[in-house]
Amino acid sequence: ESHNIKSRTAQRSKAATPIVQKSSRAILLSGTPALSRPVELYTQISAIAPGLLPKFHQFGLRYCNATEGPFGWTYDGNSNLLELQCFLDATVMLRRLKKDVMDQMPDKSRQVVELDPKTLTSMKKTAKLSQALAESSSTSDTTRAMLLELYSTSAQAKMNAVGTYVKELLENSPQKVVLFAHHTIMRKKLAE
């Protein structure tokens, strides 16, 4: 998700860019092309190809329709997009649309995995939150907060069971496995 380093002033970008630049190989992937806001591409391109682009201000003038206001320059627009697209295609960007590669992809498979109840941690809090949510007639903000807490609590309760399942899956499966997780605690557990 390379668009997460789209801001050149963000701490994440400042931390990631030197790592990418020092790597012997780097590929940045994103499903979110940002050609309507070229300023968001600058940090990403500079990370994988330092020196390829002009200085930020020059890039902003050419491709971001930069304007000077009472508080300094803004780079929120876009200009010369066809030129920028041609430049990106010739240098650093490879774009594949889903419709163009679907015939090369394996069929999507989903399966429900029943976890060993002995490996689940206490579900009492999850059950209480679920019951409170079912009985609730509160505002949408309160309901949303309760749902978020329920999701987080259920992730905590399933964390060890999922970790055990994934470990066994990786040890016994000859195929590659792609895992997705939302909660940080679950991602950390899976990274173990």
Average confidence (pLDDT) over 93-115: 82
Given a contact cutoff of 8 angstroms between Cβ atoms, the answer to whether 79 and 63 are in contact is yes
pLDDT at 132 over 70: yes
Strands (DSSP E) contained in 27-186 are 67-69, 72-74
Query: What would the pLDDT profile of 53-80 be if each residue is shown by its tens digit?
Result: 999 999 999 999 999 999 999 999 999 9
Residue type, position 135, single letter? E
**Residue position matching structure tokens 């907060």:** 145
Name the token pair of 58.
Answer: 């020059």
Half-sphere exposure of 33 (CA within 13 A, CB side): 13
Query: What would the pLDDT profile of 145-176 be if each residue is shown by its tens digit?
Result: 777 777 788 888 888 888 888 888 888 888 77
**Residue position matching structure tokens 């002033």:** 9
Phi and psi torsions of 74, nearest 5°: -120, 145
DSSP 179: -
Predicted TM-score of the model (pTM): 0.57
